[in-house]
Chains A and B, each alone.
Chain A
Amino acid sequence: MEELIAKIAEILEEENLDIAKKINDYEGWDSLAGLSIIAMLDSDYHKVMKTKDILAFSSIEEFCKSVLS
């Protein structure tokens, strides 16, 4: 999970992510960050997810668990 968290942190331009927070709680979140995450999920994890789906998770941790499940 750490690798995925690091990739999300890089996209959000955050050094330390609190994975209990929602992804869009961070200032670095915007539609383009969302698209970067979608592209990363597709290329690195072969997962297809819409921005809306990503925002539906209650925390970054829950999102990561779902991606890695």
Chain B
Amino acid sequence: LAALESTLRDEAADKDRALVRAVAGGSADALADLYDRHAGIVFGLARRIVLRPEDAEEVVQDVFAQVWRQAPRYAGERASVAGWLVMLTRARAIDRLRARRARPDEDRGEAPSAALPLSSADPNPEAATLSAEQVRQVGSVFATLPDPQRVLLGLAYFEGLSHSEIAARTGVPLGTVKTRIRSAMETLRQTLDVTP
């Protein structure tokens, strides 16, 4: 059964890569297929980061616009498209979160200024080097990290906070914040060492 699941996952990953190649060739249908396959995780992660559903919808649009633009650069033989999408989603969502923190007026319903284009960090397609299976494994190890590590790493990843901002937010000493986040990242990295 495990072998069958693994085969199905490989086929899904192959299909994703074929879709990205078709998107690179200019196929809007292929982009729509990719959307159908991944919009759930993109929207879920975006909402986890920006919290407001309307902002999360904007992030989804940003991400698929970027997939359309960057697909010609995607050359992953083994890397998962899902991993790339997750990285794009986080970058776009953190951009939006920081923009909102810098513009508290927006919470009172003012339209964002056109002079503030929300484009910045562009994780390039080659940066996503993990297979879909590895991405899934790292995710499940993250979920089982000890609470003190998971919470602090979560503040860095999902809220885009720096070490000192996390220390200020939580009251945990700065040195402890650094050590716990480093240990947590090291644990996640070791997941890859045992993955073929």
Partners in one complex: no
Could you list which residues of chain A lie within 8 angstroms of chain B, going by C-beta atoms? none
